Structure 1
Amino acid sequence: MDTIKNYLTNKFATVPSTPTTEKAQAELLTKMTARYQELLAAGKNENEALGTVINEFDSLEELLGAATAPTAETKNALTLTETEIFWRSTRRLALAVAGGILGIALGVGAMIALIPTLFSWLGILLMLLGVIVGISLFITVGMAHERVKVPLDKRTIPAELQATARQRQQDYTSGFTIALVAGVALCIFALFPPILQAVWHAPGFGLLSGAAFIWILGSGLFAIIYGSIIYAGYTRIAQGTTFYAIADADERALSELKQRNPKMHLFLYQVYWPLITIAYLVISFGFGFWSLSWLLFPIAGILFGVIRNYALLAPKN
């Protein structure tokens, strides 16, 4: 009946239109119409039946409150404001990680280029500066990002927020593609200086070609890492129904290892790679094994995984 339908429409006019409220309105319309027909069948006229129905459903405000009250899932859902803060933090993290790697590459490249000159001390200083700046960015911005992620852990992601994330992801696709293509192209182009040096054997340009390789490679990694982290931030919301502060297997392994074996965690994540870097520099500069020293990093990466997995299987300390 139009009168009942208009009555409910007015009641729900101030309520946000959601699947829950629309369903509640439809159910109430069905109940009120059935009650109205029942009263007419009992001999009441239209006005009496309509008045009775409205009086009987006078507690509609309570029904509205129950229908629109936030459920436990709604209370636990991410909001757009929280997600925007997460995305801004992700962009800062992307710049810090990519910039830190580029800073280290620039510093190491400068050291290699200046070692055979009178300014070798400046090269070492620039290398140390690049490493310090890079590691500082990793730590400070990484910790700030953790503080943003942890309160969002195990929060549900509403469908409308997923739709917003998908739109942001789509809008960023062209930028991500450009960053990825440019990064890969730079990484490939980084091979040219060492190749040209190997072909031409230009005197005095051996170390300079190595420095150019590291500079260009660092620039390529900057583009790839920066674009990938931002794109992953949108994907994390667009494709998930629940937000987890620890997103991937490596991070979960890191968190579990920190709880199970704090000493091993400290060694692997704060001591291991600096030792590998020092060993690389000693082998390269001290013994001149540039053609073989780079193998230290892939071997160290494999050993890192083996040691970490063994530590995860070992009894908890």
Structure 2
Amino acid sequence: MILADKITQLRKKAGMSQEELADRIGVSRQAVSKWEGSLAVPDINKIIALSEVFGVSTDFLLKDSAEMPPDAPGEAADAESTGREDSPLHPVSLETANLFLQNNEQNALFIAIGVMLCIISSVVLILTESLAGIIFLLLCIGIGVMIFVSRGLKSEEFKFLEKEPLDTAYGVEGMVRERQKNYSGTYIREMTVGIGLCVISCLPLLILSGIMGEAWETVGVALLLAFVGVGVFLIVKTSIIRSGYQVLLEEGNYTRKAKQTSRQIGGIYWSAVTAAYLLISFLTGRWDMTWIIWPVAGVVYGIL
């Protein structure tokens, strides 16, 4: 067994991601990836560091004739250090990874639309204060909730990717990292514009009420919600797409340690925000004030 295969198997038996192993031996994740792909060979100091992390001898790592022991010390050591027993790794094929990313991109678009509908749902009610406004509000909320539920059900088969340690097949990580790299510019652009729209959303209200008078205040609030709706749409969409790459790479909020206390944000977060918005608005009747919930929720979601 060659060194690259030994590093890969020992790392996975120890329940570590490439990023975690890189941190422990003081190199970049890219260096570990090259070692495991036989694109580079660690120097002698790194060989010694690897032997200490995995609890094996340097001879075992360097000699191709040495076979992997049935129960490598690194596995027990990691289980003890993390305070848990090692969980079985779930295999992820290239086909599964592609299907997940395709489903995740669809989720991003539809969930973002659902959130935007919830945000702009009160626009007609604010402008007209009529039955038509209430009907429009209920329709938007209803459609949004249906989107959240349907996308959640369609994603059920991929839930294990967010909760369990993964054993990705050859080629999966390279494919995901390439797509992540290509998307990074779009993520930065859409996140920046989305947060910017939430921040400046109050300008129409200030300008119209200040220049045109209080009669235009409701129009300003409606425009404010439109700004926030578009901004949050961009934030939610780009955040979900980015999180899909992190799921497969077990990075960010989806490292193996984070999965022990994993939390689902997406639909649950926006459903809770919508419920709070409607409850507070109906109880107080201050639709002209409760809009502040949306820009705050949008910025918080972007941070999360």
Relative to the length of structure 2, the TM-score reads: 0.58
Asked if the contact 2:121/2:140 (under 8 Å) is kept, the reply is yes
Aligned equivalents of 1:232, 1:269: Cα separation in 2 = 15
Structure 1 residues 215 and 294: CA distance shift in structure 2, 3 A: closer
Greater helix fraction, Structure 1 or Structure 2? 1
Structure 1 residues 18 and 133: CA distance shift in structure 2, 3 A: farther
**Within 5 Å, which residues of 2 pair with 1:102-117?**
102-115=116-129
Structure 1 residues 78 and 18: CA distance shift in structure 2, 3 A: farther
The alignment covers a number of residue pairs equal to 213
Asked if the contact 2:197/2:227 (under 8 Å) is kept, the reply is yes
Q: Which amino acid aligns with 1:251?
A: R
* Structure 2 SS opposite 1:205: helix
The Cα shift of 1:180 comes to 1.1
Q: Which amino acid aligns with 2:189?
A: I
RMSD of aligned Cα (Å): 4.1
Structure 2 residue aligned with 1:219: 230
Aligned equivalents of 2:237, 2:220: Cα separation in 1 = 26
Unaligned runs of 5+ in 2: 7-66, 69-86, 298-304
**Within 5 Å, which residues of 2 pair with 1:61-80?**
76-80=90-94
Aligned equivalents of 2:182, 2:148: Cα separation in 1 = 28
1:127 aligns with 2:137: yes
Structure 1 residues 147 and 76: CA distance shift in structure 2, 3 A: closer
What is the aligned counterpart of 1:140 among 142, 147, 150?
150
Aligned equivalents of 1:121, 1:154: Cα separation in 2 = 51
Asked if the contact 1:237/1:243 (under 8 Å) is kept, the reply is no
Of 143-152 and 269-278, the range deviating more from structure 2: 269-278
1:85 aligns with 2:99: yes
Asked if the contact 2:108/2:240 (under 8 Å) is kept, the reply is yes
Aligned equivalents of 1:289, 1:144: Cα separation in 2 = 34
**Within 5 Å, which residues of 2 pair with 1:196-211?**
196-200=207-211, 202-211=213-222
Aligned equivalents of 1:128, 1:111: Cα separation in 2 = 11
Q: Which amino acid aligns with 1:193?
A: P
Asked if the contact 1:183/1:221 (under 8 Å) is kept, the reply is yes
Structure 1 residue aligned with 2:178: 167
Relative to the length of structure 1, the TM-score reads: 0.56
- 1:237-294 Cα offsets, whole Å, 9 max, x none, are 2345x987x95846279xxxxxxxxxxxxxx999976763343222443xx4844x46
- 1:171-220 Cα offsets, whole Å, 9 max, x none, are 11121122112212221231111221342352421111111111110110
Q: Which amino acid aligns with 1:131?
A: I
Greater relative contact order structure (CA < 8 Å, 6+ sep): 2
Structure 2 residue aligned with 1:188: 199
